[in-house]
Amino acid sequence: MTSDSDSRALGAFLKARRAQLTPRECGLPETDSARKVAGLRREEVAQLAAISVDYYTRLEQGRVRASVPVLTTLARALRLDDDQQTYLYELAGRTDARPRRRRPAQRLRPAMRRLLDQLTETPALVLGKRLDILAWNPAAAALYTDFATIPAHRRNYLRLLFTNPVVRQLHQDWAHDAREAVAALRMEAAADPDDPDLAQLVGELSLQDPDFRAWWAEHRVNSASYGTKHYRHHLVGDLTLDCDTWASPDGSVQRLMILTAEPGSPSHDALRILTSWTTRQPGTDRTEGLTR
């Protein structure tokens, strides 16, 4: 059963989505009359979904629970992609019966493990599908957070960026960095739109964070493999680090993310101080590094 808050969230999602569409996009005739609202009118959505205007209005107002057939027609009428459809079903408290393929567990490549162990003064992470954090070195734990205290299935770079207060406060320009990370995930989603774990991640963050919901709906994509990060660490202060991401050549979609500072710069000195306080132990157990 859905709660009152879920019903209100469903109505807000429907309203926001129709505001993003135009009659032309949906095959409806344009009219000369001025539109009082952005995007589609309620009457137009009801027409496209073959339901009554009154019923659709009550859906947006959270006064009625949608059936699975109605959700199916609304998803088609509002041009929802796979992740948005998953979110729609979750808000409505209905089972999404669309077929899902089981994905094999992600296994950390031994070469990646060796690279991490050799990078003793440089923060480094191994990212897998959906920006899952498969492994890290002690320097990365010192910079970000103690990843070992987070369950393996919850270790996701984007999830931490939005839900972990320590990681969130680390970023001086959190909105910029978070929005770029959302665009990177959106780029990855195009390669495997039916991934149920991706749908779960997007649905979870959409429910929890309005910024994520808005940025995901923008459909911005980003495939950049390098950039500059500006951090404010609670122990060593401001850090300006170059972030480079290297893709594994074996097609595993695993990427090594390395953060470095200009030699002789204040950030370089601060990073050396930070990493000198870390223990020289591997960043993750090989078994814990497995995730879907």
How far is residue 85's CA from residue 94's CA, in Å, rounded to a whole number? 11
Within the chain, which residue ranges are assigned CATH 3.30.450.180? 110-280
Helix/strand/coil for 227 = strand
| Residues 259/124, Cβ–Cβ less than 8 Å | yes
| pLDDT value, residue 32 | 58
How far is residue 275's CA from residue 292's CA, in Å, rounded to a whole number? 30
Return the structure tokens found at 199.
């749908």
H helix or E strand, kind and range, residue 246: strand 237-247
Q: Which amino acid is at 7?
A: S
Within the chain, which residue ranges are assigned CATH 1.10.260.40? 7-31+38-92
Helix/strand/coil for 198 = helix
Instruction: Find out if CATH 3.20.20.70 is the number for domain 110-280.
Output: no
| pLDDT value, residue 280 | 44
147: which DSSP letter? G
| pLDDT value, residue 244 | 96
How far is residue 160's CA from residue 207's CA, in Å, rounded to a whole number? 15
Burial of 255 (0-12, 13-18, 19+ CB in 10 A): middle
| Residues 52/4, Cβ–Cβ less than 8 Å | no
| pLDDT value, residue 278 | 65
| Residues 8/93, Cβ–Cβ less than 8 Å | no
Q: How far is CA 126 from CA 137, 140, 240, 247, 276, in A?
A: 9, 10, 21, 10, 21
Report the number of secondary-structure helices (H) and strands (E) in the chain: 13, 5
Return the bridge partners of 132, or none. 156
Q: For 7-31+38-92, which CATH class? A: mainly alpha
In this predicted model, what pLDDT tens digit does every residue of 78-127 receive, in sequence order?
988 877 888 888 888 887 655 555 567 788 888 888 889 899 889 999 99
Distance of CA 2 to the CA centre of its chain: 24
The residue ranges of the chain whose pLDDT is under 70 are 1-6, 30-38, 96-103, 193-194, 278-292
